[in-house]
Structures are given as C-alpha cells and as structure tokens.
Structure 1
Amino acid sequence: MSRVCELTGKGPMTGNNVSHAKNRTKRRFLPNLNDVTLASDVLGRSFKFRISAAALRTIDHRGGFDAFLAKAKDSELSANALKVKKDIAKAQAE
C-alpha cells in the first residue's frame, strides 16, 4: 500500500538522522496517514480514503468534504478521489 495521501498527494520525504557527533545517515519521514470515512452531503453517501491528519484538518477548515474537493487540484487527487469529485460536481449541476 503506497504511503501517499489520497486527497493532498503528500508522500514520504527524505532527510538525515544527525547524531551528537554530527554523523549523518539517510532516513525517511513518512506522512501521518489514517483510514477515514468521509460523508458527502450532496451525494448522501460515505467514502473511505487513506488521508493525512493535515488533510483531515483542512477538510474541517474548508467546511466539509464537498467544499474541500471543490477547491482541490485535480493533479493532487487520487483516481478514486477524482471520480468522487466529478460525481459531486455533476450532482450539484443538476
């Protein structure tokens, strides 16, 4: 399972462990991913995603899942999230 947020595209970063003697060894900083179920008000159903904790806070800040997807860039979304975004846009147009 890939370690990438489905809504923001946030993935692992690289850096160094630095010892007291300033020895540097490579390491990875992994995003804080959680399995969550997000409800869409427009479609009236829920969707499961693997998203970062920062993305979950952003969803609350923007006023819900539908509002977050409306502002989200298509290049950052996973294929599953992109399909949900298009379904929501189609339902709002009707």
Structure 2
Amino acid sequence: MTETHDDEIVHRKLNTDREDPAVAIAEVIADLEGTQTDELTPTYDCIDGMISALYSNPPSPEAQMTVEFTYSGYRITVEQSGTAEFVQVT
C-alpha cells in the first residue's frame, strides 16, 4: 500500500551546490512514493533547468526568489536557499 501525504507539507533542504539539483526533486518524490527515481518522468522533461538556474545564477538574497511547479503528483515550491516544500495534489 502506498503511503499518502494528503494535506501534508513535506519540507526538505536541497543541496544548492549539486551539479544537477533537479535530480534531487525526483529523489524526494521517489522517497515519498516508495519507488525508484527511474520510474518517474525525467525531471528534464518537466522543469528543464529551472532549479539549476535558480542556484547557479541566483538573484540577490533580498529578492527571495521562489520557483513553484507541479511534478509527478506534487506541488513543489523551491526557494533559492534550497528549502523545498512538497504537497501531494493527486
């Protein structure tokens, strides 16, 4: 039986120095769903470099840049600090 996370916000801290930080998004989803990352839609098909750009060329800290998107049944909010929130939407 798959663990559900309805109405639950899962907080994670992502490594902003990672070469491909979008893979960390897939790893968190795989962990939450109890599956392997290769069973998910590849992140490059969905978020195509947004997370990498957020970390590699971030705006000033005062801007508090946030990226929000849906991937693999979760609404995900990622801040330029690496803080991320995952909320299951399906």
Q: Which has the higher strand share?
A: 1
- The TM-score bracket by the shorter chain reads under 0.3
Of the two, which has the highest radius of gyration?
1
TM-score (norm 2): 0.25
TM-score (norm 1): 0.24
